Structure formats: structure tokens, C-alpha cells
Amino acid sequence: MDSLDQKHQTKLLADQRRQRILTSVYEHGSVNTDELAARFDVSSMTIWRDLKILEDAGMIRRIRGGGTLPDGFTAAEPIFQKKQTLNREKKASIAAYAAQHFVQDNHIIILEAGTTAMAMVKYLNQRNLTAITNGLGTLNELAHRLNNINLLSCGGMMREIGYTFVGPQAEQFFKNIRANTLFLSATGLALPEGITDPNPLEIQIKRAMATSAERIVLIMDSTKFGVRSLAEILPLEKVAVLITDSGAPEDFVSELCQMGLDVHIASAGERINEECDE
């Protein structure tokens, strides 16, 4: 192995270690420097440098003996099984509407790992459809449809709390593909903060998905309106369409409409922007 290959491998290992440190912080609330050093078989000084890099990026906060959640962390991330039971009817109506109105024959779509995107699978009846995901739950649902859906999935490191593939390998996969539409969800939607999530690993993979899609359709139930999480996924200006349910606050929807967002209410089948244009 020449020196350039060796440097590349060393950087890759360091990136993977930091991704795993991030996962530990966001799943357990804090990490201990000595425990991490033993876990990764590196020096405590190496771990301390890792923590400093993550802190400089705004992803964690260093404390004596380790690292913890950054200041401003508010919204906890529910485990995947719990998310499946939350607001099931709202998610089903949004999923059905999205699948019926925003997917066409021969389309290439990205379904992020959220439960609303996963719920879209049973409503997909288009021909020659290609679906791509980073979610194990979505992948399992799509696996039953291989007779009429071409299925692709990224690799990467799996997060237990969300059953999602994340990390540099997953991000690179999405940066190398092209899709017609990304169906995206998040923990919260607030103004002026925009679309936010609590976990940097999830934020990074969703940003990579967004760079691959010609159009971004945001699928979010009304309970997420006004919720502020750790950090922005991407600016609202990059979103073409928002699909939500009839529980969305009218004043909030009106403000989004005035910003130029094409808002659809799934339960009523309304396109809110038609009202804004009057």
C-alpha cells in the first residue's frame, strides 16, 4: 500500500470512528473518553481530538472526561417501533396521497427511512418503478414488491434506534445516483428554523439524498408543525411540495403558502396554493 492509499485508509477509519462516537452520544446522551479509547483501541488523546472535531462542527459538546449532547438539543428521537404507532391514520393518508399524485410510471424515487415514507410502499402501483432507500423497515416493505419495483439500497453503518443506514459510505452512495423525487420527512417543521432533525448522522444522509433528486416532496403530519429540533436538514426553499393533513394550523399553512411552497392537504385532497393565488 503506497502512502496515499494509507492516508486515505487512515482518514476513512477516523471518519467511521467519529460517526460511531456521534451515534453513542445521540443514543445515550453522553460518552466517556476512556471507555471510547478502549472500545476503539486508540489513545485517549485521539478520542479527545475526535471530540474536538465533532464539537467544532456543532455536533456535540465536550465536557470533562468525555462529550455530551450540544446546547440547544431539545427534541428526543423516538425509536423506530414507537414511530410506527404514532399518528398512524394521518401518516397513511399522507402516504397514499403522495404515492398516487407524485409518482409516475418509470420514475426513480428515494424513500427516506421515516415511517410515513415506508407507508407509501403499499400504495405504489406504477409500472417500471425504481425505489431507493436507506431504511431497513422501508427495505423490508419493498422486498415484497420485487415483482414490479426495482429496489436499491445503500450500505453503511446501521443505527439501531432508527434502523437506518448512515455514515460516509451511505452518503457517497446517494451522491452518485440520480432520482426524480425524494420523499422526505423530519422531526419538526418550524419558522424560521425550517425542517429539523435531532441527529447529525440522519441530517447528513438526508442532505446527500437531497442532492440526488430533481424534486423534494416533504411528507409531514400536522403534529410536527411548530416542533424545533437540533439542526436544519435543508432550507425550505429547496422543497417543491409539502403534503400534510387537515390538522395543520391554518395560519402556519398560509405562511408556508406565501413563501411559495406548494402545499397539499392529503385528507381533503386540496392544493392550498390555489387559494393563495386568489
Residue 63 Cα distances to 69, 199, 215, angstroms? 10, 19, 41
Helix, strand and coil percent figures for the chain, each rounded to 5: 45, 25, 30
pLDDT given for residue 239 in this prediction? 96
Q: Is the dihedral of CA 231, 240, 83, 129 positive or negative?
A: negative
Lowest mean pLDDT: which of 13-27, 32-46, 235-249? 13-27
Residue 21 grid coordinates = 462516537
The larger pLDDT score, comparing residue 125 to residue 272, is at: 125
The SS3 assignment for 176 reads coil
Report pLDDT digits (tens) over 137-194: 999 999 998 888 999 999 998 887 778 999 999 999 999 999 999 999 998 898 888 9
Report pLDDT digits (tens) over 253-264: 999 999 999 999
Separation between Cα atoms, residue 88 and residue 34, nearest integer Å:
43
Separation between Cα atoms, residue 217 and residue 34, nearest integer Å:
44
pLDDT given for residue 276 in this prediction? 56
Give me the mean pLDDT over the 23-36 stretch. 85
Q: Tell me, what DSSP letter sits at residue 77? A: P
Separation between Cα atoms, residue 225 and residue 249, nearest integer Å:
8
pLDDT given for residue 199 in this prediction? 82
Q: Where are the domains of the chain?
A: 3-68, 80-276
Q: Strand order in 231-234's β-sheet? A: 188-190, 194-197, 231-234
**Phi/psi-derived region of residue 179, left when phi > 0, alpha when psi is between -120 and 50, beta in every other case:** beta
Residue 18 has pLDDT above 70, yes or no: yes
CATH number of the domain located at residue range(s) 80-276 in this protein: 3.40.50.1360
Separation between Cα atoms, residue 230 and residue 240, nearest integer Å:
23
The SS3 assignment for 232 reads strand
Residue 28 has pLDDT above 70, yes or no: yes
Report pLDDT digits (tens) over 211-221: 999 999 999 99
CATH number of the domain located at residue range(s) 3-68 in this protein: 1.10.10.10
pLDDT given for residue 57 in this prediction? 76
Amino acid type, 276:
C
Lowest mean pLDDT: which of 20-29, 96-105, 248-257? 20-29
**Across the chain, what does the average pLDDT equal?**
86
Most confident of 85-89, 106-110, 142-146: 106-110
Read off the pLDDT band of 82 (50, 70, 90). very low
Separation between Cα atoms, residue 119 and residue 55, nearest integer Å:
36
Cβ neighbours for 177, distance < 8 A, ≥ 6 positions apart: 108, 132, 152, 212
Read off the pLDDT band of 200 (50, 70, 90). confident
Residue 165 grid coordinates = 443506514
